């Protein structure tokens, strides 16, 4: 039998297929959110790669960012930017987000200020201009103590009014002293879901770029508000409204408008979570829910399990919305 050729790289002997094996394992770890494993595997792969390592470095950079290893990530992204490795704006985006996580606001403001003056592609300008404005404000407010937005005796209506007032002004500036309070509020399952949704929208407008936990109903997940879509731009809302339009939009425009209004209220209340049924099921359930209110008939017993599940949750949302 022929012996497999080994490649010696410095003091490291590379067996055939080692690099590919490490890349595949690293990709699997990244997809499965095992970020520490991904970092280890991609770092090892870079020791063997002799033909070009831009894709490996980009994958490693993502792993650093997702794992919260911001010091290592900033060092890597800075070297990639200087060497022109990877897609420039993708590397820059991660670099800036990690600097914001480290509260290096002045460095972000200085770097992006130069870029904005030189000119950016139209599809990138708004995003980086928003980050530049955020960094400018946060660098000024960095030494300011956090303020309290809500009082212990505030009712849910009081909280909604305060949040609405902030939203009507420059949220990214006026709400920034309350960022910590709003983040804690989103993790509190005892807080009213409507107040939580309003708080999340404020954090998105403020440009909050850190990982935060949202707990609402029986749902829980980690998000970055800055990267979270507005509720009415989310795919679930678009698919639900499209299905309603196709099924009753022309046939019954009054019922269509009522169902759309109900769905908007419900999905805003659930944001950033989606119902646990397909969009078309939620749309059909909304129509049945409205029709049953006219006929005073319990339809949940005569529908399929998925629609019944949607109807049951809609009733729960109705009770919450009737504040």
Sequence ranges of the domains in the chain:
7-102, 108-141, 156-226, 232-321
Rounded distance between C-alpha atoms, residue 81 and residue 93, angstroms: 11
User: Which range has highest mean pLDDT (120-124, 145-149, 187-191)?
Assistant: 187-191
First vs last C-alpha separation in the chain:
79
Instruction: Compute the average pLDDT of residues 104-129.
Output: 90
Q: What's the confidence (pLDDT) of residue 178?
A: 84
Q: What's the confidence (pLDDT) of residue 13?
A: 46
| Residue 291 burial (10 A CB sphere; 0-12, 13-18, 19+) | middle
Q: What percentage of the chain reaches a pLDDT higher than 70?
A: 86
Question: At 2, is the pLDDT very low, low, confident or very high (cuts 50, 70, 90)?
Answer: very low
Question: At 59, is the pLDDT very low, low, confident or very high (cuts 50, 70, 90)?
Answer: very high
Q: What percentage of the chain reaches a pLDDT higher than 90?
A: 55
pTM: 0.58
Instruction: Compute the average pLDDT of residues 97-125.
Output: 90
Rounded distance between C-alpha atoms, residue 78 and residue 226, angstroms: 22
Instruction: Compute the average pLDDT of residues 295-312.
Output: 78
Question: At 298, is the pLDDT very low, low, confident or very high (cuts 50, 70, 90)?
Answer: low
Instruction: Report whether pLDDT(162) > 80.
Output: yes
- Tokens 């030189």 identify what position? 118
Instruction: Report whether pLDDT(119) > 70.
Output: yes
Instruction: Report whether pLDDT(234) > 80.
Output: yes
| Residue 62 burial (10 A CB sphere; 0-12, 13-18, 19+) | middle
Instruction: Report whether pLDDT(139) > 90.
Output: no
Integer-rounded Cα radius of gyration of the chain = 25
Instruction: Report whether pLDDT(133) > 80.
Output: yes
Instruction: Report whether pLDDT(208) > 90.
Output: no
Question: At 50, is the pLDDT very low, low, confident or very high (cuts 50, 70, 90)?
Answer: low
Q: What's the confidence (pLDDT) of residue 299?
A: 62
Instruction: Report whether pLDDT(159) > 80.
Output: yes
Q: How many CB atoms lie within 10 A of CB 49?
A: 18
Instruction: Report whether pLDDT(16) > 70.
Output: no
Instruction: Report whether pLDDT(53) > 90.
Output: no
Looking at per-residue pLDDT, the higher value among 148 and 282 belongs to 282
Instruction: Report whether pLDDT(291) > 80.
Output: yes
Q: What's the confidence (pLDDT) of residue 169?
A: 61
- When the pLDDT of each residue in the chain is averaged and rounded to a whole number, the result is 86
Instruction: Compute the average pLDDT of residues 179-203.
Output: 93
Question: Residue ranges of the alpha helices (H) in 229-277?
Answer: 235-244, 253-270
Instruction: Report whether pLDDT(67) > 80.
Output: yes
Question: At 28, is the pLDDT very low, low, confident or very high (cuts 50, 70, 90)?
Answer: very high
Instruction: Compute the average pLDDT of residues 77-82.
Output: 94
- The CATH number of the structural domain formed by 7-102 is 1.25.40
3-state percent breakdown (helix, strand, coil) of the chain, nearest 5: 70, 5, 25
């Amino acid at each position: 039998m022929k012996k497999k050729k080994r490649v010696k790289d410095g003091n490291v002997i590379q067996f055939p297929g080692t690099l590919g094996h490490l890349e595949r394992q690293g990709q699997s770890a990244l997809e499965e959110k095992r970020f520490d494993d991904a970092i280890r595997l991609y770092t090892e792969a870079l020791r063997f790669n002799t033909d070009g390592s831009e894709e490996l470095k980009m994958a490693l950079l993502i792993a650093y960012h997702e794992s919260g290893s911001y010091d290592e990530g900033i060092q890597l992204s800075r070297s990639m930017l200087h060497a022109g490795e990877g897609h420039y704006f993708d590397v820059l985006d991660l670099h800036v987000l990690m600097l914001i996580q480290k509260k290096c606001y002045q460095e972000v403001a200085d770097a992006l200020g130069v870029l904005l003056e030189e000119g950016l592609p139209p599809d990138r300008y708004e995003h980086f201009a928003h980050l530049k404005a955020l960094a400018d404000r946060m660098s000024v407010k960095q030494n300011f103590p956090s303020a309290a937005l809500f009082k212990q005796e505030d009712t849910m209506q009081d909280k909604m009014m305060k949040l609405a007032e902030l939203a009507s002004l420059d949220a990214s500036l006026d709400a920034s002293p309350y960022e910590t309070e709003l983040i804690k509020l989103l993790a509190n399952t005892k807080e009213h879901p409507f107040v939580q949704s309003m708080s999340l929208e404020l954090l998105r407008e403020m440009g909050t770029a850190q990982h935060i936990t949202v707990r609402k109903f029986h749902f829980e997940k980690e998000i970055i508000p800055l990267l979270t879509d507005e509720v009415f731009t989310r795919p679930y809302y678009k698919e639900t409204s499209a299905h309603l339009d196709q099924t009753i939009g022309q046939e019954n425009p009054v019922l269509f408008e009522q169902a759309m209004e109900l769905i908007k209220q419900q999905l805003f209340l659930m944001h950033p979570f989606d119902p646990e049924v397909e969009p078309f099921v939620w749309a059909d359930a909304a129509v049945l829910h409205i029709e049953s209110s006219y006929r005073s008939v319990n339809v949940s017993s005569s529908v399929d399990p998925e629609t019944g599940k949607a109807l049951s949750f809609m009733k729960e949302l109705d009770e919450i919305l009737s504040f």
